[in-house]
């Protein structure tokens, strides 16, 4: 993950030259223009040009959050089922799943292989495969031409986020189709690390995810993840946002 500061002002060379003229304490040299009102208005045209150029060339404020990694996409059998935020997942809508970003965060996803971009809303949790950072809906994947390949290197840029609620982060250590297996792992994790629970990922069949811990910072969850990987040699342990209390 890398962070880049936004640049609130950016001018082309012509704009900078015009600004330099008006920055002169003596002001622009207007002595060659006649004084009737029509020419007085003409004197203001360069200033109007400067203001318009600044308005056009200044980029809108954007988040400094940037994340790069691999994107995948998902459709059936999850289409029509309940997403992690409680709404129905529709694969023809521009939505996505992310492990830690708050629900209703809007993200711009740029395909680094072709520079195509799409804006999506986070409504779900995933992807639950190590090395991937976002799961796109089918419509979003189509927009950046990654339906065929299935995965693509991408850059994520946050466009807007909902009001922040208290954060809790956990570590996912497994996902099982058989709930009994998930229960056994939860019991083991709870005995070692104090807090563990299972969360159903709706599907056909569904997956029972085992998540450990309830850390108030993402760094704390990363420390726990490293500890679990070291203790259990489980290389698939990764940080997720805990959207409900354990």
pLDDT band per the 50, 70, 90 thresholds, residue 51: very low
For the chain, list the domains and their CATH numbers: 65-160 (2.40.40.10), 169-241 (3.30.70.1070)
User: 239: closest CA among 183, 3, 228, 123?
Assistant: 228
- CA distance linking residue 28 with residue 37, whole number of Å: 18
Residue at token pair 């920055």: 23
pLDDT band per the 50, 70, 90 thresholds, residue 20: very low
Give the mean pLDDT of 54-61. Answer: 36
Q: Mean pLDDT across the chain, nearest whole number?
A: 78
pLDDT band per the 50, 70, 90 thresholds, residue 59: very low
The more confidently predicted of residues 130 and 124 is: 124
Contact between 98 and 72 under an 8 Å Cβ cutoff? The reply is no
Give the mean pLDDT of 84-98. Answer: 94
Provide the pLDDT for residue 238.
86
Distance in angstroms between the alpha carbons of the first and the last residue of the chain: 28
pLDDT band per the 50, 70, 90 thresholds, residue 109: very high
User: 93: closest CA among 113, 126, 118, 111?
Assistant: 118
Provide the pLDDT for residue 46.
53
Provide the pLDDT for residue 165.
63
Q: Note if the pTM is more than 0.75.
A: no
Burial code (b: 16+ CB inside 10 Å, e: under 16) for 69-83 equals: eebbbbeeebeeeeb
The more confidently predicted of residues 87 and 59 is: 87
Which of 12-16, 59-63, 210-214 reaches the highest mean pLDDT?
210-214
- CA distance linking residue 9 with residue 32, whole number of Å: 33
Provide the pLDDT for residue 67.
92
pLDDT band per the 50, 70, 90 thresholds, residue 140: very high
Count how many Cα atoms sit within 13 Å of the Cα of residue 44 in the half-sphere of its side chain: 5
For 159-192, the pLDDT digits (tens) are 998 876 667 888 989 889 899 999 999 999 999 9
Q: Mean pLDDT lowest for which of 174-183, 192-201, 208-217, 231-240?
A: 231-240
Provide the pLDDT for residue 184.
92
Burial code (b: 16+ CB inside 10 Å, e: under 16) for 182-204 equals: beebbeebeeebeebbbbebbee
């Amino acid at each position: 993950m890398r962070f880049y500061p936004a640049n609130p002002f950016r001018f082309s060379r012509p704009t900078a030259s015009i600004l330099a003229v008006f920055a002169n304490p003596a002001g622009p040299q207007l002595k060659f223009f006649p004084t009737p009102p029509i020419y007085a208005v003409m004197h203001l045209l360069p200033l109007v040009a400067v203001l318009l150029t600044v308005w056009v060339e200044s980029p809108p404020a954007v988040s400094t959050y940037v994340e790069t990694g691999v994107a995948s996409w998902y459709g059936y059998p999850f289409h029509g089922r309940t997403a992690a935020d409680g709404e129905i997942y529709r694969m023809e809508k521009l939505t996505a799943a992310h492990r830690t970003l708050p629900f209703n965060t809007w993200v711009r996803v740029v395909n680094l292989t072709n520079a195509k971009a799409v804006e999506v809303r986070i409504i779900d949790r995933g992807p639950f495969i190590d090395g991937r950072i976002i799961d796109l809906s089918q419509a979003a994947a189509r927009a950046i031409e990654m339906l065929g390949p299935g995965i693509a290197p991408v850059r994520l840029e946050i466009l807007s986020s909902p009001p922040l609620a208290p954060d809790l982060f956990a570590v996912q250590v497994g996902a099982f189709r058989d709930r009994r297996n998930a229960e056994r792992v939860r019991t083991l994790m709870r005995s070692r690390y104090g807090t563990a629970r299972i969360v159903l990922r709706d599907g056909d069949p569904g997956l029972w995810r085992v998540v450990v811990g309830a850390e108030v910072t993402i760094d704390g969850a990363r420390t726990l993840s490293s500890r679990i990987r070291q203790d259990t040699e489980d290389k698939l342990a990764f940080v997720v946002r805990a959207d409900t209390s354990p």
